[in-house]
Amino acid sequence: MQVKVAGFNIDSTLIGEIRGKSESFTPEVISASYARISRDPRDIGQIRKEAREAVKKARISNEKIIFGLGHSSVAEHAVFNFDIMGISRLAVEELESFRLASFTEKSQRYIKIGKDIILPKEIEDCGLESQFNDLMKFLSDEYNNLYLKMLDNKEDESVAKEDSRYLLPLAVTAQLGMTVNARELEYMISRLASHKLEELNELAEKLSKIARGIAPSLVRYPEAADYFSNKFETRNKLGGMTNKIVSDDKSEEVKLLSDTEDCDNLLVAALLFSSGKIGIKDARTAALRMSVKEKIDIVRNTMEDMQLYDSVWREFEHVHLLFEVIVSASCFAQLKRHRMTTITVQPYSQQLGVKIPESVKRCGAVKEFEKAAEMSSRLYKEIRKEKNFAADYVMLNASRRRVLFDINLRELYHFSRLRSDKHAQWEIRTLSEKMCKMVKRKLPVGAILLGGKDSFSEMKNSLQ
């Protein structure tokens, strides 16, 4: 066996110092050489050497294989790292919706935020720039006042930072690092270029310019697409249809809408199936005949050697759970990071009100908080009359929306380890605990170790 490093991420400053001496400093070389592995009998090291020495030929090969023959996965061997700064929190929600990329964002939870605000072009165009700037200044001042008031009320500084940010608007800027392969990047650029927000169109243009300058043979079709842009109009039409529907929704914050039929028995059957030589039908019949204790013993056996950060077995993915939740923008900022789930969102809704942290109530700042929310709401309505999509910039982190959250049981174990833990942010911790409680009632066998990292040892010892 041989294992060699073919490449790794290095800082762009170092690349810039070397790149002028050779055009081979491009991720296209890796993609082109790996594309030939299946049909070239030579050693991979020789193939990569040839690609480095003949970049033009490598680019032609990429274009033929990726775009001519349709083997798009070859582009996934080229990986980019981007620093993205001065982007609004609203735009970040769209950017971080892409599954096959990695993001690390500067957190409003741990860092005191300054006055950096995006002024959207849509707001300038509709003549509401002055009102927008006045609101942004007011919210920034109220954010700082609330932070100081919490400190005066003897709240911990971490709580003051975490909860005062609920008054910040989605127009506040963010910084993040993004790692993405060329195939996903091309898809990302096309979707962002098709968006109704001009800020995201600008981001698409900047990403495209950089990527095509570095790897022109891998990012060739980043233009806006009718399929993506027309989705906004379709949603408007569908939204109009819902206006005629009378809803009896009482707006519970967490609902378990559906789950895989006979989920505990299916999980046990899947474990029997993968460990034996019987068909799934016979495995399910066997599971149905077992007592609850026998089924728990089977699941417990898979967890005997599991440590805190280990994942449960993949068989747990056969159980799916569909939730409808109502969360604030602050909570959604964390929820959206679980990209192995399926997340469908509604726009932020004034009808759902705002989420007011308990610390705000403790320091007697509810009236100030509600005044800020009301001012945001008034300008939101004004912008909605002119530019529907830009109105969300003035929504607060406290603003709420409905989310359809589809998660398999294996991913829920990961989610609960992180989000039910005592160190988790309070709103998403409450959400996770409610979800886990509902699931434990439905799956007394499969959910025996759902919970936060802090309670893992205690839960595991109770299974002995």
- 220 is a catalytic site residue: no
- Residue 201 has, within 13 A of its CA and on its CB side, a CA count of 12
Nearest CA to 397 out of 186, 181, 101, 88 is that of 88
C-alpha 119, offset from chain centre:
24
Residue 232 tokens, joined: 């906004």
Q: State how far the alpha carbon of 306 is from the alpha carbons of 309, 314, 398, 448, in Å.
A: 8, 13, 38, 13
Phi, psi of 440 (to 5 degrees): -65, -30
CB 228 within 8 A of CB 220: no
CB 82 within 8 A of CB 188: no
Selected catalytic residue, list 59, 89, 191, 402: 191
362 burial type by CB count under 10 A (0-12 exposed, 13-18 middle, 19+ buried): middle
Nearest CA to 432 out of 357, 334, 305 is that of 334
| One-letter identity of residue 358 | E
Point out which residues pair with 83 in neighbouring strands. 177
CB 419 within 8 A of CB 431: yes
Nearest CA to 212 out of 439, 26, 399 is that of 26
Residue 302 tokens, joined: 């898979």
Point out which residues pair with 82 in neighbouring strands. 178
3-state secondary structure (DSSP) of residue 177: strand
Whole-angstrom Cα distance, residue 113 to residue 396?
14
Whole-angstrom Cα distance, residue 341 to residue 430?
19
Whole-angstrom Cα distance, residue 77 to residue 30?
7
Nearest CA to 409 out of 443, 376, 375, 380 is that of 443
CB 324 within 8 A of CB 404: yes
Residue in this structure with the two tokens 């609850």, named with its chain if needed? 292
Beta-sheet strands, E only, within 94-223: 101-105, 173-181
How many Cβ atoms are within 10 Å of 230's Cβ, its own excluded? 11
- Please identify every residue annotated as catalytic: 191
